[in-house]
A and B are shown apart, each in its own frame.
Chain A
Amino acid sequence: MALAIVKETTVQPRSASKPMVCVDAVTMSFGDFVAVENVDLTVADGEFLTIVGPTGCGKSTILNAVAGLLKPASGTVSIDGAPVRGVRNDIGYLFQQDALLPWKTALENVELGPLFKGMGAAERRERATTWLAKVGLKGFEDRYPHQLSGGQRKRVQMAQALISGPKVILMDEPFSALDIHTRHLMQNELLRLWQEERRAVVMITHDLEEAIALGDRVVVLAAGPRSRVIDSFPVALERPRDVAEIKLDQRFTDLYRNIWSSLRGEVEKSYERHD
């Protein structure tokens, strides 16, 4: 099997662990419109990768290709060595929008993954209860999504995505719809859960601060169409981190300046094209 050729501008700290997600020369297009072209990405097992880029640069498209929701026009995506063909269920996906089933209670939503995998009722109920408690929603088991706040719904979604112990966690601007305080809270929560059991994470965001605060590595995408990877920055900040405090760190601000100088040009280009 052809191994992904990874163009790394810098040596990453966790290069020793095996690659979990390989995106190899992937081009995504919709008819004549080419969203992303020739993208190479590798995410090591246990690595938290964040992808930033201007609006409309096809960030979500890449994520959907990894999830198997969309098929690349060319190139291959593989997870843990196996090529992705169609939707697979060893990944956890955190959507930007409300993705909970509105006709199921918080508990029923969380136990969906185990249910679809054929786990017995008692066991999955027990696991779902544990996971709800883990995300701080003990006592909210029987609430329907419309009876929960935006942040609480996000917590349920987290539990829902993580309960089956996925190999890879994909996140598509998961916190962008939340207010700033809830967002900080959720980011810390996410880091705490991830710290417990490190998985490969690919997170898409347009918030550079979030990208640096959470990630091990930040990848910058060019303005679309025909977007591609233009830079990759390792984030050598120690963990565990507190997202609010880390922003005051000198190294954080230096990194922010570096990445922003790379990103700014693309954001400006994207505005010119969209005006």
Chain B
Amino acid sequence: MNATTERLIQLALLVAVLGGWQLGVVLGVIDVFFFPAPVDIFNQVVAWVTNAGFYVHVTTTLTETVLGYLIGTGLGVAAGVWLGLSRSAARILDPFIKCLNAVPRVVLAPIFVLWLGLGLWSKVALAVTLVFFVTFFNAMQGVREVNPVVLANARLLGASRPDLLRHVYFPAAASWILSSLRTSVGFAVVGAIIGEYLGSSAGLGHLIAQAEGNFDAVGVFAGILVLAVFVLLIDSILDVAEKRLIKWRPNVAEKPA
């Protein structure tokens, strides 16, 4: 099937779902209290986007996400590389890591609010706990799966331990780490939003929580839509970053499926 046909089918699907939904609302089959009309949601989004106050919320969420993401990723990579290299440390810490990872992160939100207040940092902390483990496990795996032949070759060529870290371990782990960055960016947003949802004065999560408090389904749906676009934008930025950083890898997309 060629690309144009596929695009047309995608478009047809979108029109069918949204059109059906809108039609259902118009005909009175769908209750707008629970499922507001797509047109209303769209109008709400437009109203937000054209209002300067809306961007305060966006920047708040964006700051929390980026901070949580950077701190969580940094800690995750450092811990992952360390435990990937030191088997004994990994064995000693393994049960603790498993326990910590088993805790549903959302329940930590109230504790972070207690510790860090209702401001920015309680949300960042929640995002960090979510992001950390994804990056951590990937970095550890990446370091452990370094090709032993490549490693032996580098050692025979005279690489010292810092040389090995810089020229072998980090680049080998990089593709694992980068693929985890894509997953964890979603987690960073989840952390920020949930934190905001549970108690805050600004942010997209706050916006949704407010709408929910007023039984304003239009606002909730509009918030969800904005969030989806928000994550897609961050994801596309990472996409570009990944292509620049890992240019040595054969591009899988180039090969015929």
Which residue of B has the minimal Cβ distance to A98? Answer: B149
State whether the Cβ of A182 lies closer than 8 Å to any Cβ in chain B. no
**B-chain residues with CB within 8 Å of residue A144 when the two chains form the complex:** 247-248
Q: Are A89 and B156 closer than 8 Å at their CB atoms?
A: yes
Which one of A12-20, A112-120, A197-205 contacts B?
A112-120
Query: How would you classify the secondary structure of chain B's contact residues: helix, strand, loop or mixed?
Result: helix
Q: A104-B248, A146-B249 are in contact. Are A117 and B150 (CB under 8 A)?
A: no
Q: Give 1 or 0 for each of A100-118: 1 = CB within 8 Å of chain B CB.
A: 1111110000001101110
A95's partner among B149, B155, B168, B247 (CB-CB below 8 A) is: B149
State whether the Cβ of B163 lies closer than 8 Å to any Cβ in chain A. yes
Q: Are A100 and B150 closer than 8 Å at their CB atoms?
A: yes
How many cross-chain pairs have Cβ atoms below 8 Å apart between A and B? Answer: 68
Query: How would you classify the secondary structure of chain A's contact residues: helix, strand, loop or mixed?
Result: loop
Q: A87 CA to B149 CA in the complex, in Å?
A: 14
Q: A112-B157, A160-B157 are in contact. Are A101 and B167 (CB under 8 A)?
A: yes
Q: A115 CA to B159 CA in the complex, in Å?
A: 9
**B-chain residues with CB within 8 Å of residue A92 when the two chains form the complex:** 156
State whether the Cβ of B153 lies closer than 8 Å to any Cβ in chain A. yes
Interface centre among A99, A105, A144 (most CB of B within 10 A): A99
State whether the Cβ of A258 lies closer than 8 Å to any Cβ in chain B. no
Which residue of A has the minimal Cβ distance to B174? Answer: A103
Minimum CB–CB distance from A123 to chain B (whole Å) comes to 16
State whether the Cβ of B160 lies closer than 8 Å to any Cβ in chain A. yes
Which residue of A has the minimal Cβ distance to B153? Answer: A99
Q: A101-B171, A103-B171, A112-B167 are in contact. Are A95 and B153 (CB under 8 A)?
A: yes
Q: Are B149 and A116 closer than 8 Å at their CB atoms?
A: no
Q: Give 1 or 0 for each of A252-269: 1 = CB within 8 Å of chain B CB.
A: 000000000000000000
**Among residues 165 to 185 in chain B, which have CB atoms less than 8 Å away from a CB atom of chain A?**
167-168, 171-172, 174
Q: Are A67 and B149 closer than 8 Å at their CB atoms?
A: no
Q: A239 CA to B18 CA in the complex, in Å?
A: 80
Q: Are B171 and A113 closer than 8 Å at their CB atoms?
A: no
Q: Are B154 and A87 closer than 8 Å at their CB atoms?
A: no
Q: Are A101 and B156 closer than 8 Å at their CB atoms?
A: no
**A-chain residues with CB within 8 Å of residue B168 when the two chains form the complex:** 101
Q: Give 1 or 0 for each of B50-77: 1 = CB within 8 Å of chain A CB.
A: 0000000000000000000000000000
State whether the Cβ of A195 lies closer than 8 Å to any Cβ in chain B. no
A146's partner among B152, B158, B248 (CB-CB below 8 A) is: B248
Which residue of A has the minimal Cβ distance to B250? Answer: A146
**B-chain residues with CB within 8 Å of residue A101 when the two chains form the complex:** 150, 153-154, 167-168, 171
B152's partner among A98, A99, A102, A145 (CB-CB below 8 A) is: A99
Minimum CB–CB distance from A154 to chain B (whole Å) comes to 13
Q: Give 1 or 0 for each of A46-65: 1 = CB within 8 Å of chain B CB.
A: 00000000000000000000
Q: Are A113 and B248 closer than 8 Å at their CB atoms?
A: no
Interface centre among A91, A102, A104, A144 (most CB of B within 10 A): A102
Q: A103-B248, A146-B249 are in contact. Are A112 and B154 (CB under 8 A)?
A: yes
**B-chain residues with CB within 8 Å of residue A100 when the two chains form the complex:** 150, 153
Which residue of B has the minimal Cβ distance to A105? Answer: B248
Q: Are A67 and B150 closer than 8 Å at their CB atoms?
A: no
Q: A95 CA to B174 CA in the complex, in Å?
A: 25
Q: A116 CA to B156 CA in the complex, in Å?
A: 10
Which residue of A has the minimal Cβ distance to B157? Answer: A113
State whether the Cβ of A82 lies closer than 8 Å to any Cβ in chain B. no
Q: Are B157 and A89 closer than 8 Å at their CB atoms?
A: yes
Q: A115 CA to B154 CA in the complex, in Å?
A: 11
State whether the Cβ of A69 lies closer than 8 Å to any Cβ in chain B. yes
Q: A198 CA to B156 CA in the complex, in Å?
A: 20
Q: A99 CA to B159 CA in the complex, in Å?
A: 14
Q: A103 CA to B160 CA in the complex, in Å?
A: 18
**B-chain residues with CB within 8 Å of residue A103 when the two chains form the complex:** 171-172, 174, 246, 248-249
**A-chain residues with CB within 8 Å of residue B150 when the two chains form the complex:** 98-102
Minimum CB–CB distance from A36 to chain B (whole Å) comes to 19
**B-chain residues with CB within 8 Å of residue A164 when the two chains form the complex:** 157-158
State whether the Cβ of A97 lies closer than 8 Å to any Cβ in chain B. yes
Which residue of B has the minimal Cβ distance to A90? Answer: B158
Q: A105 CA to B167 CA in the complex, in Å?
A: 12
Q: Give 1 or 0 for each of A145-162: 1 = CB within 8 Å of chain B CB.
A: 110000000000000100
Which residue of B has the minimal Cβ distance to A64? Answer: B152
**A-chain residues with CB within 8 Å of residue B172 when the two chains form the complex:** 103
State whether the Cβ of A175 lies closer than 8 Å to any Cβ in chain B. no
Which residue of A has the minimal Cβ distance to B167? Answer: A101
11 contacts between A and B (CB under 8 A): A69-B152, A95-B153, A99-B150, A99-B153, A100-B150, A100-B153, A101-B167, A103-B172, A105-B248, A116-B163, A160-B157
For the complex with contacts A95-B153, A99-B150, A105-B248, 5 further pairs of A-B residues with Cβ separation under 8 Å are A99-B152, A99-B153, A101-B154, A112-B159, A116-B159
